[in-house]
Amino acid sequence: MGTAGLLMIALTACGGGDRPANASPTGGKAAPPARTTPQPTPSQAAARTPAQSAVQAVLSKMSVQEKVGQLFMPVLYGTAADTVSGENQARYGAQTPAKVIAKYHLGGVILFPHNIKTIGQVVGLTNGLQRAAEDVPLLVGTDQENGLVSRMAALMTDFPGASEIGATKDPELSRAVARATGLELRALGVNLDFAPVADVNVNPKNPVIGPRAFGADPRRVATMVAAAVKGFGEAKVGATAKHFPGHGDTDVDSHSGLPVIKHTKAEWEKIDAPPFKAAIEAGVDAVMSAHIVFPKLDSSGDPATLSKPILTGLLRERLGFDGVISTDALNMDGVRKKYNDGEIAVRAVLAGADLLLMPNDLPRAYQAVLSAVKSGRISERRLDQSVTRLLTLKQHRGLLTEARAASATEAARVLRSAEHRRLAAKVAREAR
Catalytic site positions: 255, 328
**CA-to-CA distance for 2 and 177, rounded, in angstroms?**
34
d(CA 306, CA 350): 8
Give dist(CA 370, CA 391) in Å, integer.
19
The answer to whether the CB of 236 falls within 8 A of the CB of 397 is yes
Cβ neighbours, 10 Å, residue 39: 9
* Beta carbons of 298 and 336 less than 8 angstroms apart: no
Instruction: Let me know the angle formed at the C-alpha of 322 by 320 and 328, rounded to the nearest 5 degrees.
Output: 105
Residue of 236, 243, 257 whose CA lies nearest to 194: 243
Give Cα separations from 213 to 292, 303, 342, 430 (angstroms): 17, 21, 32, 17
Distance CA 244, CA 416 (A): 32
Q: Please name which of 237, 28, 32 lies closest in space to residue 134, comparing C-alpha atoms.
A: 32
Using CB atoms within 10 A of its CB, is residue 421 exposed (0-12), middle (13-18) or buried (19+)?
Answer: middle
Adjacent-strand bridge partners of 239: 193
Cβ pair 155, 122 in contact under 8 A = yes
Q: Cβ contacts of residue 223 below 8 Å, gap of 6+?
A: 171, 174, 278
